Each structure stands twice: as structure tokens, then as C-alpha cells.
Amino acid sequence: MQWKSLRRMTLALGALLVGAALLATPTPAYATLELSWSVNNTKLGSDATNTMLAINSGTVGGFAVTGSAVGTNSGAFAPGTAGMDLSTISITAAGPSTLTLYLTQNALTSPLGLGALNASLTGHFVTGTGTVSMVSYGNDTNGLYGNATGQTAPPPPTGGNTNVATAAIGLGGSASVNFNATNPYSMTQILTINFTSSGTVSLSSDGSTTFANPEPSTLVLTAVGLPLLGIGMFLRRRRRGEA
């Protein structure tokens, strides 16, 4: 009888902790997503939305650009992950020139705490030659473009110790940096496409930036799993001894 009672208590405790962890899983807030672009370091324009941007405005400063960008509220990212993605971007240049895309979102409130800011970039030059690089930023100031102020020519985010930046990556590259996010925070992704000749580059997979930390349920199960396992082993040994 005592063994059955302890077993019920153990199962009830486990169910209670798991349920509490699931209820504690934060929901991402409604963030603002914005995309700006510049040619040879001169800003040409920007567009803003809360979920998704369609880059199909035709010629942008001598470049033909098509594609889209999505943010946290688009539903493209898993719960407990804040993310941005420049997806299926195609850029054609008439000659040597540099196009810079600035993708940013703020008012992010989930996830929070210490996690990993991850960046990846894939694609290829269909014709012509050049280079592509991307740097991703996490910033606790909650401003679009990080600590940058004004929208006349968005610079890379700069500021205090709360800022983090991944290493610059090229096509086929990935990078990660620790980010201790507080509520609320912003993320910025800067993609630089340098054409050394006329041609077309296709970022046909994606260039993405995501921030995630362990789910509360995972942390709770890790914390209580071994003690519960130990209780179970103890009860099994005791039952065998009583038999």
C-alpha cells in the first residue's frame, strides 16, 4: 500500500511540473519588421510590415531585385524562437556595384535569457562574379537597426555591452554567438552583395537569423528527470525486497 501511494505521488509531481513548464512557455510578441536598402552606401528606401515583406519593386538603384522577407510573426518559425529570413532573393546587377540590405525587427519578448543567436546564408551566383556576406546582431535597446538612430542611412548597430554580433559569413556559411536577451529586444541582419561584374546572384535557399534558448519544459524535465528516475529505482528495489 505504501509503495502504491508513493508511486501515485511521484507521477502526480511529474505531471504537475511538466504542466507548469508548458504553461510558462512564453509567446512571442507582435514585432515590427522592416527592410531598407542602399547602393554604394547611399540609402534608397525602406519598407515596413509586421509579418512579411515582398521585394518585387523591380529596379532598385540599378539592381533588379525580387524575393521576400519574413519575421517572427509570420508563422515561419517554431514557438520559442525569434527569427528573420530573407528568402528566395534574386538580384541582378548591370555592372560592378554594391547593394546592401538591412533587415530588422524589434519589440521581441520571446525567448528571453541566455541563448544562441544563429545565422546562416546559402545561395550562388547564377551568372557573373562577386561576393556576398552577412552579419547578424542582437540588441537590448529594442530599436530598429539596434542602437542606430535615424533612418537616413542605417549603419550597423553600435552601442553598449548588451550588443552582440555574429562573425561575417559568406555563401554556404554559418555562425553563432551567445546572446543574453532582456525584454524587449531587437535583431538586425545586414546582407552585402558586391558584384565585380554584371550578373545575377540567387539566395535560393535563404539567409536567416534566429535566436533561441532551451524551452522551459526541457529545463524542468532535465532538472527533475534524474531525481524522479532515482525515486523509481528506489521503489522498485524496495518492492523486490518486500516480495
Residue 27 has pLDDT above 60, yes or no: no
| Strand ranges in 111-172 using DSSP code E only, listed in sequence order | 113-121, 124-127, 130-139, 164-165
- pLDDT category at 88 given cuts 50, 70, 90 is confident
**What value does the mean pLDDT take over residues 176-202?**
92
pLDDT in tens, 4-23: 554 555 444 444 443 433 33
Q: What is the mean pLDDT of the chain?
A: 74
pLDDT the model gives residue 153: 47
| CA 238 – CA 232 distance, rounded (Å) | 10
Residue with cell 541566455: 114
- pLDDT category at 219 given cuts 50, 70, 90 is very low
Task: Give the domain ranges of the chain.
Answer: 28-212
Residue 100 has pLDDT above 80, yes or no: yes
- How many CA atoms lie within 13 Å of 168's alpha carbon, on the beta-carbon side? 8
Residue 24 has pLDDT above 90, yes or no: no
Omega before 111 within 30 of 0, i.e. cis: yes
